[in-house]
Amino acid sequence: MAKVDLAIAIGGAAGQGIATPGDILARIFVRRGLHLNAYNAYQSIIRGGHIFLTLRTSDAPVLSFGDKLDILIPLNQDTMNRHLRLMKSGSLVLYNGDKIKPGEVAAGVQLCPFSVKELAPNIRGDLVQNTIALAAVLRLIGVEFKILEDILTLQFKRKGETVIAENVGVARAGYDYAGAHFKPFAFSLPDTGKKLAFFEGNQALAMGGAAAGVRFYCAYPMSPASGVLHWMARHGRQLGIMVRQVEDEMGVINMAIGAAHAGCRAMCATSGGGFALMSEALGSAAMMEIPVVCINVQRAGPATGVPTKTEQGDLWQVMGAGQGDYPRIIVAPTNIADCFKTVPQLFNLVDKFQCPGIIISDLLLSEGRSSVDPAELNFDVPIDRGEVIGLNGSVPPANGVYNRYQLTDSGISPRALPGTAGYTHVVATDEHDEEGVLISDEFTNPHKRQAMHEKRMRKMEAILPLLEPPRLFGPDNAQVTLLGWGSTEGVIREAVQKLANEEGIAANHLQVKWMVPLHSEAITATVSKCKKLIIVENNYSGQFARYLRSETSIVADGHIRKYDGEPFMPHHIVDGVKAILAGTTNKYVPVHEIMV
């Protein structure tokens, strides 16, 4: 049982400096060895709108940003109006009483107004309220002031001693005022002594690429995938990775394929709209049997959609990207640490089987941030390039003939890097024979087309045994089985715990990571023993439910779906399970409230 489970939210408009106090709090929590999960609900504007950053910390692993708020820091009246009514007994609200007025409040909620005019009379600017509120929070959760003083000193070092003294002085005033006027929490924030890392999913994907030996990365900036490009641009030169920002997504995927064809590991990332432009080229990579990895970080669609909101709406898009049938590997990482681990694994697979690989993430996972045990970040991963002629020297081809697309039982043909002596070959996006010569040069040969098509598709038979099947989490004899895919893992697991502890409903959980190929037999064997199956998805149409039914004939007993742009919270799933068990619906769509 966790000793501490604390959730803090900072809300305001874009430009009000929400990120800085959030970053400082996150740094303090992680330095004390506390686990952390952060989610920022923001808008696609530079100034104005409504932004709401939630940080949840605990001495136990934090699976989601949760259901409750313990501390609310509204930086404007709009945030106060939106969220005050959702605060519950035992929580508190810290705000600048000079400009922000509270409304009605539930019993047991502590209102904590402070006056910027009184505490910082000689300092101009609205951002000073952030520093006062931050210091007050630390006082109320039992964090010594010296930690904040050191962070502010480091943060403002470049601006000189006068600026440092001003900010430390304001923070001291806020810290002392909170101690004298507000009731602190009953606990003091512990220091567990654990060493933890803290970063977002996009950074994990980028670091996974570095660990995998990526030597070429290209992208056109498109949220919420841009964080991968930012990390690569910042660290690429040091790591020996060529990084290119390209003019559009068609150029991106073709440049990545070209780099991969030349022999280096190449990766690119985009969101659904950009991925749509990459479809034909992904098919060409499969036809040419060139290994390349593409990341699709989903956001709410269609078209431009809601650029800064999350969804799991691109599953059918990535499964159908490019015309015709072709071998591909599609994987949906389940948490931020898994983002890091998945990239090297996928590169080894696409190199071995000479086909495209697609990572399907989403905004919640890629722009969300979480603490990670550094032991999970192994940069010394096994690198398997498959059978590549020319990487470690080469011998002349047998009889002087090299068939790049030789028909084999495994479907994997010998691959020589361009320029390898004695291994001249043709690479074409048209159908071809074993030498790479187009089958339609003289006439369209149906026998050669069938044989080559079957050769490519045979690769898929050998991929599945190399992938770990999904495993059931929770009791075998549960009343309900919740099935999800990708980023919903953490929130579903927390919902399973809530169902057992608060509702007396025994539930278990199956999370699917490898989408193509799908562990159809393993999933069927597990689900066939379940009493009631409910599928949880962040989309409107139940894309995975339809896919699962097409592959296994499994029809779920109920569905919980969310498609308003915001991620699931644990109570959404708990309420959905209760409604489905009560027989009031078989498809539950929660109405989102920022917090309950």
| 458-481 tens-digit pLDDT | 999 999 999 999 999 999 999 999
Residue numbers of the domain that contains 122: 5-181
List, in sequence order, every residue forming a beta bridge with 53; answer none if it has no partner. Answer: 10, 40
Tell me the C-alpha distance between 398 and 175, whole Å. 78
Predicted pLDDT at 442 = 76
| Contact yes or no for 384/291 (Cβ under 8 A) | no
Co-location of 395 and 489 in the same domain? no
Who has greater pLDDT, 61 or 424?
A: 61
Has residue 568 been placed in a domain?
Answer: yes
290 Cβ contact list (under 8 Å, min separation 6):
257, 260, 261, 354, 356, 427
Q: What is the mean pLDDT of residues 44-53?
A: 90
Co-location of 455 and 483 in the same domain? no
Indicate whether 595 pLDDT > 50.
Answer: no
Co-location of 432 and 477 in the same domain? no
Co-location of 242 and 357 in the same domain? yes
**Which of 467, 498, 530 is at the close of a domain?**
467
Per-residue pLDDT band at 1 (split at 50, 70, 90): low
Domain count, the chain: 4
For residue 570, the domain's CATH number is: 3.40.50.920
Which region among 71-75, 160-164, 467-471 has the lowest average model confidence (pLDDT)?
A: 160-164
Per-residue pLDDT band at 138 (split at 50, 70, 90): very high
Indicate whether 448 pLDDT > 60.
Answer: yes
Tell me the C-alpha distance between 251 and 357, whole Å. 18
| Contact yes or no for 14/308 (Cβ under 8 A) | no
Co-location of 264 and 360 in the same domain? yes
Residues 253, 256, 259: CA angle, nearest 5 degrees: 150
Has residue 299 been placed in a domain?
Answer: yes
**Which of 376, 407, 435 is at the close of a domain?**
376
For residue 13, the domain's CATH number is: 3.40.920.10
Q: What is the mean pLDDT of residues 202-207?
A: 98
Co-location of 495 and 557 in the same domain? yes
Q: pLDDT tens, 232-285?
A: 999 999 999 999 999 999 999 999 999 999 999 999 999 999 999 999 999 999
Co-location of 483 and 535 in the same domain? yes
Co-location of 309 and 428 in the same domain? no
**Which of 415, 432, 467 is at the close of a domain?**
467
Per-residue pLDDT band at 596 (split at 50, 70, 90): very low
For residue 264, the domain's CATH number is: 3.40.50.970
Tell me the C-alpha distance between 565 and 572, whole Å. 14
List, in sequence order, every residue forming a beta bridge with 7; answer none if it has no partner. Answer: 56
Co-location of 367 and 394 in the same domain? no
Q: pLDDT tens, 568-591?
A: 999 999 999 999 999 999 999 998
Summary mean pLDDT of the chain: 95
Per-residue pLDDT band at 425 (split at 50, 70, 90): confident
Sign of the dihedral defined by the CA atoms of residues 431, 437, 442, 445, in that order: negative
Q: Which of 70, 123, 74 is nearest to 95 (CA)?
A: 74
Co-location of 406 and 477 in the same domain? no
Q: pLDDT tens, 394-406?
A: 677 877 789 999 9
Has residue 138 been placed in a domain?
Answer: yes
Indicate whether 485 pLDDT > 70.
Answer: yes
Co-location of 132 and 223 in the same domain? no
Indicate whether 47 pLDDT > 90.
Answer: no
Q: What is the mean pLDDT of residues 42-49?
A: 88
| Contact yes or no for 19/127 (Cβ under 8 A) | no
Peptide bond connecting 302 to the previous residue in cis, omega within 30 degrees of 0: yes
